[in-house]
A and B are shown apart, each in its own frame.
Chain A
Amino acid sequence: MTLAATSNLVAELLAGPRPAEWGELREAAETRLAGRDLPTTRDEDWKYTDLKALAGLSFAPAPKATVDISGHLLPEMVGTRQVFVNGHHAPHASCASAVPAGVRFFPMSHASEACHALGSVPNGKSAGLFEDLNTARFQDGAVILVPKNMKVALPLHLLFITQANAPVAVFPRVLVVLERGSELELVEEHHGSGTYLTCPVVEIHVAEGAILRHERVQRDDAEAFHLGTLKAEVAKGGQYHSRTLSFGARLSRQQPWVRLAEGAEASLDGLALLEGQQVADTHSFMHHTEPNASSHQLHKCIVDGKARAVFNGRVRVAPLAQGTDAKQQSRNLLLSESARVDTKPQLEIYADDVKCSHGATVGALDPEELFYLQSRGLNADDARNLLTYGFAADVLTHVPVASLRRALRQLVMARTQAGSLGDLS
């Protein structure tokens, strides 16, 4: 084995100075990264997602920048947001004045508190190279701590914005800890402009009986690469529900890992709208480690142009995890001949008393549905656009924050040519 060439992107990203805090964490990550390069399509895990275009680029650490966030504000979350620009906390754009007392919601750069928080929860096994890169080089991030039994009424808002005048790399980081019996809604958004690489890592700990609802919106620039990791630990009777909506990025990969303890519940829903040459890959891992937990996944993609969607849904049911109920559905709508979808469930079931179902569909619009709409007077184009819209909007029905739901529906309307149909919300 020869070591990677000097043009190695991993080495390049690590070339800059190691930030001072969390030295041990970072050192361990760097050790794991030593001598490694980007995965290639020869890696089983990256078979359908080619990082060649990424490997050919070079990224500098992202400088501090200021941006206008007025277009990203949501009325329900006026005083509950933390904003990060190019990986750095943006204090003037952030406002946490409405965060209820007792809830901790602060940037990691407020080190003394964060140090304690980040060190106190087990991070588990690394999800791979991009998590390690983040750990080695993240500049800042958000910490959210919700105390025991506190049900937070207002949703919290995390905005990660990248502004790349030249190619930059950013490593957003989030740690969420919900103590026993607490409840929270969290909206996490990624926006940006220019060519950049963003490798967010979100770590979540949901304690016994706690409930986290997590909306994730990826609207990165069409020239961006988004390689994200999410790890959620859900303790006994806890619930974690997330919805990941991917609109942007030239290439994106979401890697959500969820570990469920006894009686826990999790849902990982997803929607990706892809066009042009976009690639969106989701490699999920739903890990049932204890009895009687249930999980649910609905992953939808609309793929147009020469775009490509990849879904690999791994579900592992440990021998102990009797009474598991795991459902997974991957539904894909192809709008062009050259669009492509690779979808596959990966079930690893080691318990016998379990209910596991999975299904995948890849295809065009259903002619019966088209006819039904046409029989009510909609012309063929309108019927197609309405069905395409509905296919996507279906995932948005239960987005809890009304203004966000509306904004997302409008975005979907614009992307599905349903705009001419008037207000559909």
Chain B
Amino acid sequence: MSLLPGLARFGRFLGQIVWSTVSNPLPVGRALEEAHRIGVNSLPILLVVSVFVGTNLSVQGASAFSTIHAERYVGMFVALAGVREMAPIMVASMVAAKAGTEMASQIAVMRIQEQIDALEVMAIDPYWFLITPRLLGILLVLPALTMISIFTLVVSAYGVAITQLGLDGHTFLEQATATTHAMDLVYCAVKAFVFGLVICVLSCYHGFTSGAGASGVGRATNAAVVMAAVSCAILNYLLSELLFG
């Protein structure tokens, strides 16, 4: 697809989501269901990854700072790299891989089986029915998942720091809290919110515009997760510049 018509099509898609969401009743129940499903599906893998990213941040932080005898800065390193950067993008990638692909493939299947056409003919707005609950669900749950990931990551980094690396726990926490504030958590939530928006919109867009057949669904799903992951990575940089810069 050439760039300009593609962008115009995407723009119309966005406009339609906004219009459909504000001009219909809020699907509160279905949004909560989505939030619950996304949360439950992503949480186990998220916890495991957060634990082991936390451990390695401590180990690598210690090995970097030990060359200048500044191990006491490991806490600061974990707070800056882990809390501000790693946790939000990690959660976004995980949710893009699990929930995003699921959204894209479910909607793509509905598209090729004419279920979306059927919704329209039944006079039910398919954007409102299919996208609004998923969007609200992911916006609700992604900041929460990010907070859980941050907490897990810091606890595991702390655990490794005091047990395996023999660092002073008090110093670790002091350094960590000196560099991060409550506002950092708010900014992380903002990031999560933006990532959730991007993942949901891109996944649903690729689902809605899926080509025919199983290969069409496969391509749509693949494009959705790649675009979502790349967009989140780039946005993570821009948002960090904007929020923490």
Q: Do A and B actually bind?
A: no
